[in-house]
Amino acid sequence: MKIAIVEDDINMRKSLEIALGDYDEFEVKSFRNAKEALKRLDESYDLVISDITMPGMNGIEFVEALEGRYEVIIITGNATLGRAIESIRLGVNDFLTKPFEVETLVEAIRRSQKAKRRVKNEKRGAPKPQNSQLFYGTSEALQKSLSLAKKAARSDAAVLLLGESGVGKELFAKTIHQHSPRNRGPFVAVNMAAIPENLIESELFGFEKGAFTDAIEAKMGKFEAANGGTLFLDEIAEMPYHLQAKLLRVLQERIVHRLGSTKGTPIDVRIVAATNADIKAKMQNSEFREDLYYRIATIPVFIPPLRERKDEIIPIAEKTLEDVVKRYALEEKLFSEEAKEKLLSYGWPGNIRELIAVVERAAILSDENSISSEDLFLDARF
User: What's 314's domain CATH number?
Assistant: 1.10.8.60
Instruction: Check whether residue 157 and residue 280 sit in a common domain.
Output: yes
Going by C-beta distance under 8 Å and a sequence separation of 6 or more, which residues neighbour residue 183? 128, 177
CATH code of 219's domain: 3.40.50.300
Instruction: Check whether residue 314 and residue 284 sit in a common domain.
Output: no
Chosen domain end from 304, 321, 351: 304
Instruction: Check whether residue 86 and residue 111 sit in a common domain.
Output: yes
- Count how many domains the chain has: 3
Chosen domain end from 81, 96, 123: 123
Sign of CA dihedral 247, 253, 255, 261: negative
CATH code of 101's domain: 3.40.50.2300
Instruction: Check whether residue 112 and residue 200 sit in a common domain.
Output: no
Question: What is the DSSP pairing of strand 270-275 with strand 94-97?
Answer: unpaired
Q: Is residue 290 domain-resident?
A: yes
Instruction: Check whether residue 173 and residue 206 sit in a common domain.
Output: yes
Q: What is the pLDDT of residues 170-200, one digit of tens each?
A: 999 999 999 998 988 999 999 998 888 888 9
Residue 193 near residue 238, CB atoms below 8 Å: yes
Chosen domain end from 123, 150, 175: 123
Instruction: Check whether residue 158 and residue 290 sit in a common domain.
Output: yes
pLDDT class for 133, splitting at 50, 70, 90? very low
Instruction: Check whether residue 110 and residue 212 sit in a common domain.
Output: no
Q: Is residue 148 domain-resident?
A: yes
Instruction: Check whether residue 194 and residue 119 sit in a common domain.
Output: no
End-to-end CA separation in angstroms for the chain: 38
pLDDT class for 138, splitting at 50, 70, 90? low
Instruction: Check whether residue 224 and residue 323 sit in a common domain.
Output: no
Instruction: Check whether residue 175 and residue 232 sit in a common domain.
Output: yes
Q: Is residue 147 domain-resident?
A: yes
Q: Which helix (H) or strand (E) holds 271?
A: strand 270-275
pLDDT above 50 (res 130): no
Q: What is the pLDDT of residues 70-108, one digit of tens each?
A: 888 988 876 554 565 566 666 677 778 788 888 888 888
Q: Is residue 131 domain-resident?
A: no
Q: Is residue 85 domain-resident?
A: yes
Could you give the CA distance from residue 218 to residue 235 in angstroms, rounded to a whole number?
Answer: 27
Task: Print the domain residue range for 38.
Answer: 2-123
In terms of DSSP H, where are the helices of the chain?
A: 10-21, 34-40, 59-66, 81-89, 102-123, 140-153, 169-178, 200-205, 222-225, 241-253, 279-284, 290-296, 313-327, 337-345, 351-365
Q: What is the pLDDT of residues 222-279, one digit of tens each?
A: 999 999 999 999 999 999 999 999 999 999 999 999 988 888 999 999 999 999 999 9
Q: Is residue 134 domain-resident?
A: no
Q: Is residue 191 domain-resident?
A: yes
pLDDT above 90 (res 136): no
Instruction: Check whether residue 293 and residue 176 sit in a common domain.
Output: yes
Instruction: Check whether residue 114 and residue 146 sit in a common domain.
Output: no
Q: What is the pLDDT of residues 290-307, one digit of tens each?
A: 999 999 998 999 999 999
Could you give the CA distance from residue 149 to residue 310 in angstroms, rounded to a whole number?
Answer: 21
